[in-house]
């Protein structure tokens, strides 16, 4: 692969993983909600989700490049018709707003865990996102390119440190209620609510999809990395399950069991994860609203960040369980539509 192709594949890979690894994933709340109730099959569910992330990204990036797709509705018009495509579009961008609010809320949850107050974390994240949005697509790509590698390294490193000194004989399946107790259904719903927004995230990256190798390599790396980190988090949640009852941020609680230094380091990882997903979802939503309202970037960015603040007080775990459950099942249609369209297109 030429160096320029690898560079572009790396950019897309960073944005893809950065869009998925948000507060829900890095905190452990998503893995706990979707896979902890599946018993030992939870890890298989995570592996299936990694495969689905790869297939979805490969098909979507290839179609955007080969068919010169310019808009979210334009992607789905040939699959489901104009009316259904518009409905999918509004559902997807509605979820982007919900996802953005979840990241703001997650920032508050981390601040409350560390300092006993969530308002500072919520306001800090909202202001930070506003500043990044003013930089446009270059700001989004730069944030993901810098922070996503640090998040990956941080999750792996802190997982290893948390496992050290913990006897394997205390391993047990954590009995928290999950969104579904079937590992295949859990994987589908989990990938669905993540991928429902990804077409909107991929579209601004169109200039970087320079070849078929790029559209294949970037999602392949993304699926492998997401599955690997998901399995690490799943193992830790089961290993420390007896400590996590009522935990809003499970991985932060686990890091705290190792020591305060590790806890603060993981808090930094969480913040970076929230920033990458908030920036990816928020930027895609802003680009959509700009095309519909013709308002300026600064005005829409300020409005989005301001509206997210009161919704962030709903509570992080409540937002993950309720909003993600709804959009997960709705997004299943989008997931299957993209995969089936890919099969038809390949034939």
Continuous H helices in the chain: 3-20, 23-27, 29-35, 42-66, 72-80, 82-115, 119-133, 137-163, 183-195, 198-202, 212-239, 250-258, 260-293, 297-312, 316-346
C-alpha pair distances (Å), 15 with each of 147, 164, 267, 287, 305: 10, 31, 21, 16, 21
- pTM of the entire structure? 0.81
Structure tokens at 5: 């192709």
pLDDT at 181: 65
pLDDT at 183: 83
Residue 197: name the closest of 93, 323, 54 by CA. 93
CATH number of domain containing 110: 1.10.4160.10
Distance CA 149, CA 151 (A): 5
CB crowding 204-239: b at 16 or more within 10 Å, else e: bbeebbbeeebbbbbbbbbbebbbbbbbbbbbbbbb
SS in 3 state form for 179-231? CCCCHHHHHHHHHHHHHCCHHHHHHHHHHHCCCHHHHHHHHHHHHHHHHHHHH
Could you tell me the residue range of the domain that residue 201 belongs to? 3-346
Count CB atoms within 10 A of the CB of residue 24. 30
pLDDT at 103: 81
pLDDT at 176: 46
pLDDT at 178: 47
SS in 3 state form for 301-318? HHHHHHHHHHHHCCCHHH
Helices 316-346 and 72-80, axial angle in degrees (round to 10): 60
Distance CA 28, CA 233 (A): 6
Write down the residue that tokens 């079937």 correspond to. Answer: 182
pLDDT at 23: 64
pLDDT at 251: 81
Query: Which residues contact residue 336 at a Cβ distance below 8 angstroms, ignoring those fewer than 6 apart?
Result: none
Domain count, the chain: 1
> pLDDT in tens for each of the 347 residues of the chain?
444 478 889 889 998 988 888 767 887 878 887 887 777 788 899 999 999 999 999 999 998 988 888 888 788 887 777 888 888 888 888 878 877 887 888 788 777 777 777 788 888 889 999 999 988 878 888 888 888 888 888 888 888 877 775 554 444 544 444 445 688 888 888 888 777 778 888 888 888 898 888 999 999 999 999 999 999 888 888 877 766 666 667 887 888 777 778 888 888 888 888 888 888 888 888 988 888 887 888 899 998 999 888 877 765 555 555 666 666 666 777 788 888 887 776 66
Distance CA 68, CA 213 (A): 17
Write down the residue that tokens 């369209």 correspond to. Answer: 341
Residue 103: name the closest of 270, 341, 335, 307 by CA. 270
């Amino acid at each position: 692969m030429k160096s320029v192709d690898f560079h572009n594949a790396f950019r897309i890979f960073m944005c893809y993983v950065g869009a998925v690894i948000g507060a829900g994933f890095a905190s452990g709340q998503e893995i706990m909600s979707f896979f902890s109730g599946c018993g030992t099959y939870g890890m298989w569910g995570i592996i299936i989700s990694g495969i689905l992330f790869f297939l979805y990204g490969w098909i979507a990036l290839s179609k955007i490049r080969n068919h010169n797709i310019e808009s979210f509705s334009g992607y789905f018009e040939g699959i489901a018709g104009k009316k259904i495509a518009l409905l999918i579009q509004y559902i997807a961008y509605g979820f982007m707003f919900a996802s953005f609010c979840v990241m703001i809320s997650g920032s508050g949850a981390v601040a409350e865990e560390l300092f006993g107050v969530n308002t500072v974390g919520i306001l800090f994240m909202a202001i930070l996102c506003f500043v990044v949005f003013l930089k446009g697509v270059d700001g989004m790509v730069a944030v993901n390119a810098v922070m996503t590698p640090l998040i990956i390294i941080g999750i792996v490193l802190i997982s290893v440190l948390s496992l050290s000194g913990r006897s394997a004989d205390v391993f047990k399946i954590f009995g928290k209620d999950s969104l579904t107790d079937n590992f295949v259904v859990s994987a589908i719903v989990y990938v669905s609510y993540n991928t429902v927004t990804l077409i909107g995230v991929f579209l601004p990256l169109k200039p970087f999809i320079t070849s078929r190798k790029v559209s294949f390599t970037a999602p392949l790396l993304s699926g492998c990395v997401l599955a690997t980190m998901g399995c690490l988090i799943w193992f830790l949640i089961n290993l420390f399950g007896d400590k996590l009852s009522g935990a809003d941020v499970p991985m932060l609680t686990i890091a705290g069991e190792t020591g305060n230094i590790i806890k603060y380091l993981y808090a930094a990882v969480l913040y970076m994860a929230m920033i990458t997903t908030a920036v990816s979802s928020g930027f895609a939503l802003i680009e959509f609203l700009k095309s519909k309202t013709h308002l300026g970037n600064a005005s829409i960015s300020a409005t989005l960040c301001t509206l997210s603040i009161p919704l962030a007080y709903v509570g992080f775990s409540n937002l993950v369980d309720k909003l993600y459950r709804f959009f997960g099942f709705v997004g299943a249609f989008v997931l299957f539509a993209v995969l089936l369209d890919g099969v038809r297109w390949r034939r």
